[in-house]
Amino acid sequence: MKQFVPAAAVVALQVTASLAEELLPVQIRAPSPAHFSDLVANNTLDFGCRPIAHPTSDGKFELQALLTRDQISWLHGEYSSDEAITVRETALDKRQTSGKAPIGTGDRFSGGSVTPSGLGTKASTASIASILNINEINSALTGLANAYPGAFFKYNLPYTTFQGRTSVAAYTGAGPDTSKYRLYLSAGMHARERGGPDNLLYWVSDLLAANKSGSGLTYGKKTYTNAQVKSVLSAGIVLFPLVNPDGVVYDQSSGSLWRKNRNNRSGSSGASVGVDLNRNFNFLWNFRKFFSSSVSPASTSPSSEAFYGTAPESEQETKNHVSVYDKFPGIRWFMDIHSAAGTILYSWGDDVNQSTDPKMNFLNSTYDGKRGVTGDSVYKEYIPAADATAIKRAADATVAGMKGVGSRSYVSQQAVGLYPTSGASDDYAFSRFWAEPGVSKVYGFTMEFGYSTNFYPTTAEFNNNIRDTNAGFMEWALTAIAVGL
């Protein structure tokens, strides 16, 4: 397959609101995920957070993308003689211009004098009208700190963003001793994935409110007791709700489906601005060295949605994310919150898992240049059998909780999925135990809430997302406690 390279079409992927409305949802169907291999290696195309091949009711597989008219015409041309693969635009409106949940204006928490309140402590008919803007995210953290003194602590992270913003994290449940915290959740890494910070903040708000009142929580058809609330809090929760503030501000103001941060050192305009933070972590970052040349787990092109930056942890946002592990050395479980695919992903993301050959691992240079081909037997990533069982148990429980709410279906799968990734936050979390002597073993997960490539939910979908994720967080945390902290 030839690569689609017209500059105008690449720029149209993410530049301005006027161009963003030219992006159209497309479904590509094929008999097997292998049929998509060449397509997903084309890093000028936008497959959402990551390409995922969804099984269909007729035994085929579906890959969703956001493409320009030119790109759609190109795809039709590429597949015109291949009867096994079909390309069609979908009726699902991606809502760059209308129908989306609004972004909040002003500050609903009044600088922290109003306490955030989630959906789990409210009537089933309750609804949150709008998505939090960046000022409200920070104000919500202040509101929780004011409402729960001595129980909720916030602090500034050490690195300011490219545009000079200070990022804020918080911790709650296990008191002031930072060595006692075991659960770490982050959100807002990809700017366009709206509602991720909200999902996390409203969940923590629910936990604190229910703990104080002695009540339980209800998310749709899922209910949790006060004893379960107290158990989750006692595990110690660290939250970094807005990893990419520069990108979120830009996306919320432009409606441009912006994904990356706003660092313009590698490219000063259009799609060349920004780094994909979820390809910037220090796990097999130099993919051209570590992976087979036949796969593209990230991109060296600044114009790509998956641009990996200039070095591992080159970005201030990534450094902030990593700094949390130093402040909270006892973290054992990590969840990165993304949209939109309807999946819970677990390690590894660089290749298919295996538990028989410990020497076949990401640190062994013997396998450099061989990783990432998911259908071969040359390389598979080592994971101890007990770890493989534990992380799949947690992922399956999380999915069951999200499905139990009653809004929609979710699936769990190994993160490598349709194609490998490098430099991702979940694999970095898990890899530290082997790569950095003396650190805790951390199980890493990615939650992809919502519907495929539907980054701008309607108000109803936004509220469904809150309930789904919050039930998922509860099940994930309870399973972590059961497996062991």
Q: φ, ψ for residue 204 (rounded to 5)?
A: -65, -40
**Comparing 173-182, 199-208, 443-452, which segment has the lowest mean pLDDT?**
443-452
What pLDDT is recorded for position 419?
Answer: 83
State the catalytic residues.
Answer: 448
400 vs 7, residue with greater confidence: 400
Percent of the chain with pLDDT over 70: 93
Q: In what order do the strands lie in the sheet with 24-30?
A: 54-55, 61-67, 24-30, 86-89
| pLDDT band at residue 96 using 50, 70 and 90 as cut-offs | low
Q: Please tell me what DSSP assigns to residue 306.
A: T
Contact 410, 475 (CB under 8 A): no
Pairwise CA distance, residues 162 & 139, whole Å: 22
Alpha-carbon distances, residue 166 vs 82, 238, 246, 316, 320 (angstroms): 51, 17, 10, 10, 10
Predicted local distance difference test score (pLDDT) of residue 97: 61
Supply the pLDDT for residue 357: 98
Q: Which two tokens stand for residue 98?
A: 């209308």
Classify residue 211 by its DSSP letter.
H
Q: Over pLDDT 90: what percentage of the chain?
A: 74
φ, ψ of residue 200 in degrees (nearest 5) = -70, -45
Q: Model confidence over 372-387: pLDDT tens digits? A: 998 899 999 999 999 9
Rounded to an integer, the average pLDDT of 413-432 is 94
Q: How many residues comprise the chain?
A: 485
Position 40 scores a pLDDT of: 77
Which residue, chain included where needed, has tokens 């991702």?
Answer: 424
Q: Considering the domain 7-89, what is its CATH architecture?
A: 2-Layer Sandwich (3.30)
175 vs 210: CA distance, rounded Å: 17
Residue 246's SS3 state is: helix
- Mean pLDDT for the chain overall: 91
pLDDT, average across residues 88-107 = 75
Give the model confidence (pLDDT) of 191-247 as tens digits.
999 999 999 999 999 999 999 999 999 999 999 999 999 999 999 999 999 999 999
* b/e sequence 177-190, b meaning 16+ C-beta within 10 Å: ebebbbbbbbbbbb
Its CATH class, for the domain covering 103-485, is alpha beta
Question: Residue 2 has what pLDDT?
Answer: 46
The alpha carbon of 149 is separated from its chain's Cα centroid by a whole number of angstroms, namely: 30
Of 1-15, 203-217, 315-329, least confident by mean pLDDT is 1-15
pLDDT of residue 94: 52
Above 80 in pLDDT, residue 181? yes
Q: What angle do CA 202, 323, 107 make, to 5 degrees?
A: 35
Report the pLDDT value the prediction gives residue 15, as an integer from 0 to 100: 34
User: CA dist 173 to 108, 219, 238, 352, Å?
Assistant: 25, 21, 9, 36
Domain ranges, ordered by start, for the chain: 7-89, 103-485
Q: How does residue 95 score in pLDDT terms, banded at 50, 70 and 90?
A: low
DSSP 3-state of 224? strand
pLDDT tens by residue, 50-90: 777 778 888 888 887 878 788 888 888 878 777 788 888 76
pLDDT digits (tens, 9 = 90+) for 244-271: 999 999 999 999 899 999 999 999 999 8
